[in-house]
Amino acid sequence: MVCIAAFIILGLIGIFVAIISIFKREVGRAYLKVMKKSWGCVGKKVRLQKCDTNFKDDVKNALLKKVILKKPNLVKPLSILIEVGSIVIVVVFVWAVLTSVKSLLALWTLGTCNVDRPASCTLSAEACSLGDDEANKNLLEKTGRWFTEWGDIFAAIPDRLKVWQAEDYYISPATFVDASILDDSKQSPSDEAPYALDIVDPGCSACMMSFRNQLSSGFFENYKTAILLYPIKINDTDYKFNNSNLIARYFYASALFDEDKTSEDQRNFGLKILNRIFTEKNEDGVIYQSYLSSLSEDEAKNELKTWLKEFGASEEEIKEISRLSKSDEVKLLLEKVNNIVNDQVHIKGIPTLIYNNKKHLGLYES
């Protein structure tokens, strides 16, 4: 292990030696001589051959030459420490290389260098992570997860090479974004416009920014974009963002409310709710996304009912949408969305967009 550790260290300092050798060529020649000897030793180790003992001894002698003369009784324990230190250096180096390779593969296959927490990867687009917070896991769970992430990465390789069709992941009834409903200055997408899919959580700030960018850039005018509202779960009963599940239930209840109506008669309450959450502020200047997340469930429910009234819903229509929000039909829709997100699209963070035959993780940038 000593010769392998020495090779790793020599490799790391090689760049500094290269700079110094520009001015002092003898330093470079001496370095190359030692590096050649080190590489020969490592090459034999790779071929499962015995390493030249003289190189190993040269390394130890260089480190212990002063101790041998002054305190020879310390030579043996220090020699053991050098061996142990060499093992640590090799293990850390191998772990660092594997982690780097894993991060690059994850970035290519999943769009993020951190499989469990896409939001912590500065190389990927801004996104909200799905699942548990890594900080809540103990060391054993983190170690086990490090290995299982390799499985996630290799399983995602077919997805990376796949031709994605947004319409394959629509649910019925689907909620489409009609830009003309949200902004009078914009147009509805044409009948020939390509399909797109947005997977968002109403409480995710990255989803809010992505939606705004899409709206301002004309994305919703150029693509027939369906919305999958997916409230991120952190366990079987709790959600990552307060009231996101309630908002999703009202969103899908509004879709069911419009299901049997012609396109001219549809009220698009779900789209209007989502648009207000992502683009508008209350009278105190607080973004509605933040405002709703600060309310209790009953307060948020009353706020949504007030919005429905402002959008033109009658008392009977509000009662019907409220009833549907607690119905088995909405529960089934949420289960379908959960299946699509986790078992079909295999995403690790949202927003996730599908358009132009590709899956895109993270914030849409216009």
Q: How far is the CA of 104 from the CAs of 279, 287, 362, in angstroms?
A: 35, 36, 17
Write out pLDDT tens, residues 95-114.
777 777 887 887 777 777 77
- Residue with the bigger pLDDT between 363 and 21: it is 363
Spatial CB neighbours of 362, under 8 Å, sequence gap ≥ 6: 111, 112, 118, 124, 125, 126, 127, 206, 210, 349, 351, 352
Q: State which H helix or E strand residue 350 sits in.
A: strand 349-350
Pairing mode of beta strands 195-200, 224-229: parallel
Q: Could you tell me the pLDDT band of residue 2, with boundaries at 50, 70 and 90? A: very low
Residues in the chain: 366
What value does the mean pLDDT take over residues 59-65?
53
Q: Could you tell me the pLDDT band of residue 90, with boundaries at 50, 70 and 90? A: low
Domains detected in the chain: 2-101 (no CATH), 104-153 (no CATH), 164-361 (3.40.30.10)
Pull the structure tokens for residue 122.
Answer: 């500065």
Pull the structure tokens for residue 328.
Answer: 């088995």
Q: Could you tell me the pLDDT band of residue 153, with boundaries at 50, 70 and 90? A: confident
Write out pLDDT tens, residues 226-269.
999 999 998 888 999 999 999 999 999 999 999 988 888 899 99
Which has the minimum average pLDDT: 41-45, 168-172, 288-292?
41-45
pLDDT score at 311: 96
Instruction: Judge contact between 143 and 156, C-beta under 8 A.
Output: no
Q: Does the pLDDT of residue 184 top 50, yes or no? A: yes
Q: Considering the chain, what percentage of its residues have pLDDT values greater than 90?
A: 46
Q: Could you tell me the pLDDT band of residue 27, with boundaries at 50, 70 and 90? A: very low
Model confidence pTM above 0.75: no
Instruction: List residues bridging with 225 in a β-sheet.
Output: 196
Q: Does the pLDDT of residue 123 top 90, yes or no? A: no
* DSSP codes, 175-224: EE--HHHH-TTS-PPPTTPPEEEEEE-TT-HHHHHHHHHHHHHTHHHHSE
Rounded to whole angstroms, how far apart are CA atoms 239 and 233? 4
Instruction: Judge contact between 159 and 191, C-beta under 8 A.
Output: no
Q: How far is the CA of 262 from the CAs of 118, 218, 271, in angstroms?
A: 40, 25, 16
Instruction: List residues bridging with 353 in a β-sheet.
Output: 198, 360
Q: What is the mean pLDDT of the chain?
A: 80
Which has the minimum average pLDDT: 53-62, 188-197, 254-263?
53-62
Rounded to whole angstroms, how far apart are CA atoms 240 and 87? 42
Instruction: Judge contact between 202 and 244, C-beta under 8 A.
Output: yes
